[in-house]
Amino acid sequence: EGTGSPDDPEPTSPLSDFENSYNYVVSRLQSMDQAIHKLNVGHYTLDVRLVQLLDRLSRLDGKIGEMDDEIQQVLALAKENRKEIGQLECQKGRRIGHKCFLVYRSYETYAGASKKCQERGGRMAMPRDRKEQEALADYARGFFHPGNWPIWLGINDLRSEGLYLFEDNTRVTYFQWRKHYLSSQPDGGKRENCVAISSDDGDWWDNYCDRRMFYLCEFDA
Ligand SMILES: [Ca+2]
C-alpha cells in the first residue's frame, strides 16, 4: 500500500499543533523584539535631537538678550537725539535771555504737553517776569496772527486752589491774567486749574487741565 491512501490517518497530532503554536509565538516574539529595538533607536535619536534643540534654544536666548541690549542702546541714543533736536528746533522759536520759547501746533492736555516738552529735553514755558511774558506774548501773537488760540503755559494751581506754581514747583510772582469787566480771569475755581495764554493779546486764562490745545515749551539756550 502506498502513502496517501485514504485509509492513512491524517498527520495531525498534538505535537505538531504545539509546534505550530510554538513557532508562531517565537516569530511574534522576534518581531516584537525588532519593534522594541526600533523604538529604542528612535528614542535615542529623539534624545539627541532634543539635546541639539535645547542647545540651539539657549544660544537663541543669548542672542535675544544681546539684541535686547542693543535695542536699549539705540532707544537711549534716540532719546538723546530727540532732546538735542528740541534745543536745535528752538532756534525757530523766540530766544530771551538764557532760554528759548517754542510753540507746538498739536493738541495736548496739560499733562500731555508737559510730557512732550520733557521728552524733547525742555519743559513747559514758564514766563518768570514781565520781560519774559512780553517776549512770549509777542512771539505767540506773531506766530498765530491773525488767528487767536489758547496755548498751554507751565503754570497751574492743581496742588492748592489759588496758589499758582510753575512746572518746577516754584511760585508764580508775575501774573498776566485777563482783566475785563465781563471775563476777568481766573474764574474757574477748583474746576479750572491749568493756565493758557491767548495768542492775540498774551493774556492768561485758567482752563480745564484735560482740554486739548497747542502748547509752549522752553529750552536752555
Ligand atoms: Ca483753579
Mean pLDDT, range 201-215, rounded to an integer: 97
| pLDDT for res 79 | 84
Distance (Å) from CA 210 to ligand 1 centroid = 13
Provide DSSP, 76-123.
Answer: HHHHHHHHHHHHHHGGGSEEETTEEEEEEEEEE-HHHHHHHHHHTT-E
Q: Confidence band (pLDDT; 50, 70, 90) for 49?
A: very high
Residues 189 and 126: beta-carbon distance below 8 Å? no
| pLDDT for res 1 | 47
Read off the pLDDT of residues 109-121 as tens digits, 9 standing for 90 and up: 999 999 999 999 9
Distance (Å) from CA 219 to ligand 1 centroid = 27
Distance (Å) from CA 188 to ligand 1 centroid = 6
**Dihedral (C-alpha) 3, 6, 7, 11: value to the nearest 10 degrees?**
70
Distance (Å) from CA 194 to ligand 1 centroid = 7
Q: Confidence band (pLDDT; 50, 70, 90) for 101?
A: very high
Distance (Å) from CA 57 to ligand 1 centroid = 58
Q: Which of 2-6, 9-13, 139-143, 169-173 has the lowest mean pLDDT?
A: 2-6
Between 84 and 214, the more confident residue is 214
Mean pLDDT, range 135-140, rounded to an integer: 97
| pLDDT for res 54 | 95
Give which of 123, 145, 122, 163 is closest to 202, Cα–Cα.
145
Distance (Å) from CA 132 to ligand 1 centroid = 23
| pLDDT for res 189 | 87
Percent of the chain with pLDDT over 70: 94
- The residue count for the chain: 221
Distance (Å) from CA 70 to ligand 1 centroid = 46
| pLDDT for res 180 | 87
C-alpha cell at 162: 489759588
Q: Strand pairing partners for 171?
A: 165
Residue type, 76: A
Percent of the chain with pLDDT over 90: 76
Mean pLDDT across the chain: 91
Distance (Å) from CA 192 to ligand 1 centroid = 5
45: number of CA atoms within 13 Å, CB side? 6
Is 70 exceeded by the pLDDT of residue 14? no
| pLDDT for res 85 | 82
Distance (Å) from CA 162 to ligand 1 centroid = 6
C-alpha cell at 126: 514758564
Distance (Å) from CA 41 to ligand 1 centroid = 80
Distance (Å) from CA 171 to ligand 1 centroid = 15
| pLDDT for res 9 | 58
| pLDDT for res 81 | 85
Mean pLDDT, range 202-209, rounded to an integer: 97
Give which of 199, 93, 198 is closest to 141, Cα–Cα.
199
Beta-carbon contacts of 170 under 8 Å, excluding residues fewer than 6 positions away, are none
Beta-carbon contacts of 111 under 8 Å, excluding residues fewer than 6 positions away, are 209
| pLDDT for res 8 | 59
Distance (Å) from CA 93 to ligand 1 centroid = 29
Distance (Å) from CA 74 to ligand 1 centroid = 42
Q: Confidence band (pLDDT; 50, 70, 90) for 188?
A: confident
19: number of CA atoms within 13 Å, CB side? 5
For residues 2 and 99, give the distance between their C-alpha atoms in angstroms, rounded to a whole number: 131
Mean pLDDT, range 179-201, rounded to an integer: 91
Residues 163 and 174: beta-carbon distance below 8 Å? no
Between 5 and 177, the more confident residue is 177
Distance (Å) from CA 155 to ligand 1 centroid = 11
For residues 176 and 16, give the distance between their C-alpha atoms in angstroms, rounded to a whole number: 120
| pLDDT for res 96 | 94
Distance (Å) from CA 170 to ligand 1 centroid = 17
Specify the DSSP class assigned to residue 177.
B
